Chains A and B, each alone.
Chain A
Amino acid sequence: MEIVTTILSISLISVALAILIILAERLLNNYGDCQIDINGGARQMTAKGGSSLLSTLAGQGIFVPSACGGKATCGLCKVQVLDGAGPLLPTEEPYLSADERQKGFRLSCQVKVKQNIKILIPEELFNIREFKTRIAKIETLTHDIKGLRLDLQEPDRIRFKAGQYVQLYTKPYGKVRESVFRAYSMASVPSDDRSVELIVRQVPEGICTTYVHQELKEGDELRISGPSGDFYLRGDCDELVFIAGGSGLAPIRSLILDILEKQLAYKMTFFFGAVTLRDLYYLDFFRDLEKQHENFRFVPALSKPLPDDNWQGETGLITEVVNRFIPDGKNKEAYLCGSPGMINACLNVLQTKGIGPDKIFYDKF
């Protein structure tokens, strides 16, 4: 009898404690409605507290760029918080300079809205929209790269600068229980404003790229937001050097098509590097452009072509090929897109040619 009483007592205490914890969690974590003041009162909104500033703003139709989906790994979602942010988190520190910390910059994905908050954000963020799209075409470009053409449904038009990116939102699939979003550069030309083209390379075990490569079908609906990014043409030069590898071709294609369409007078050279022929794509597309436009030169290069490739083009690492073709950096700007290793290697070569860091542009994601 004593044992039964003891067990019952412990059970009752446990249940009481559990109820207490649930009640406390509801009371303590209920931040109620919070006021968000943007740009000194230019915009004011009310939102339910408890979520990250990034997702709270997205819920209000303000899409702060982020390439990692709120995991504090890209550092793109910085906003200036004047009041109400709470202490800086260790997860934010690697992405904020001393000057930025002093000015109150924070990663919006790490700031939880718990009280009224005052922030400053660039005006252009108000132009970022969320789009419902339908997948018009999925094309296999290489063994690990797919091209997507998305027809815009609502809104049905997008305005962007060549080189900018959109964020693509996944739906839960397979073992992935939450929606995630990642940034992908647009490969299409801005004048084609009713569609968006993306080029996506499969990252082994990548959540978003696996979704694109294995789950999506033509006709599916897909949510994107954009445009974002400062990788676009500056053009304070006579000659443009473009270097891409893998899916990095996307924004370069958009830039080149836009420049040719607008008949801008730049002399352009596009270096497209890969290991073997199976890693290259759009070869005929760019060779045709080269035939049609005197000011455009296309230099595809393979670092280790296979005998069966019968490759007649340039060989060697892309850095070696750029080194051979570019005599100097006079009046040149360079635009790079590809893997971090390729970008770092090319930065070194371009700087030895005299193209300064202020003339070299690349996306940092």
Chain B
Amino acid sequence: MKQSPEQREIEENLGPGAFSADGFLGSDPRSLADIIRDDQALVKSLGLTHQAIARQLGALTRLGLPGLGTPVPYGDHLEVIVMDYRGIIPCPFRDNVREEKRLTVCRDRLTGDAIRWTDLNVHMIAAHGFYEGRGSPFRVDPAEVQAMLSIQPDPEPENSES
């Protein structure tokens, strides 16, 4: 399918070397539209919405922020560590949103399992349903998120973004 100039620019922004060293698409051979569509289906199959996932990730980042890099306990056996860096990164989707360069790690103290996300991940999930491509250093896998955080579905279904 032919891409519009806007879509082409977004894909360029998501590629390596534009906004981050390795980009946001990883080694994923799928098109951006396919990546978003497949993740939308996965999120739906988990009984969740992009907003519910983004809301939970954002809440955990806010929980961990006062720790200034020190682990902050969450629930019985999870802990949240927030590391922030100097600088701002714009959203590659050309929506004029800019996020601080902040990384949140949520770790299970019992198993050692960990998931991680950036403030930009949270925005891209909520606003664009984009979790990054497979093999991307900062892909947020909805199934892994749900396995660790057991996010409660929204009480009422939200409109689909796809």
Contacts and interface: CB of A to CB of B under 8 A. Distances in A.
A207 B21 contact: yes
A203 B87 contact: yes
A67 B86 CA distance: 10
B17 A176 contact: yes
At the interface, is chain A mostly helix, strand, loop or mixed? loop
B73 interface: no
B85 A203 contact: yes
Contact of A340 (B16, B66, B84): B84
B62 to A, nearest CB: 11
Contact of A303 (B21, B69, B96): B69
A110 B27 CA distance: 32
Interface string A70-94: 0111100000000000000011001
Interface string B14-25: 011101111100
Contacts of A273: 68
Contacts of B23: 175
Contacts of B66: 317, 345
A203 B101 contact: yes
A170 B15 CA distance: 18
Contacts of A303: 67-70
Interface residues of B, number: 32
Contact of B21 (A176, A201, A275, A345): A176
Contacts of B46: none
B106 to A, nearest CB: 16
A342 interface: yes
B17 A174 contact: yes
A158 interface: no
A353 B22 CA distance: 44
Contacts of B70: 275, 303-304, 317
Given A73-B88, A73-B98, A175 B68 contact: no
A207 B20 contact: yes
B63 to A, nearest CB: 13
A317 B68 contact: yes
A36 interface: no
Interface core residue of A174, A273, A339 (most chain B CB under 10 Å): A339
A247 B101 CA distance: 15
B22, B102, B137 — which one has the most chain A CB atoms within 10 A of its CB? B22
B138 interface: yes
B151 interface: no
Contact of A174 (B21, B67, B83): B21
B43 interface: no
A177 interface: yes
B100 to A, nearest CB: 6
Contacts of B67: 303, 317
Given A205-B20, A341-B68, 15 more contacts: A91-B96, A176-B21, A178-B17, A201-B85, A205-B137, A206-B85, A206-B101, A210-B21, A303-B67, A304-B71, A317-B68, A318-B68, A340-B100, A341-B65, A341-B102
29 contacts: A67-B87, A71-B19, A73-B89, A73-B98, A74-B87, A74-B88, A91-B96, A174-B21, A175-B15, A204-B103, A204-B138, A206-B85, A206-B87, A248-B86, A273-B68, A274-B69, A275-B69, A303-B67, A303-B68, A304-B71, A317-B66, A339-B83, A339-B84, A339-B86, A340-B84, A340-B86, A341-B82, A345-B66, A365-B86
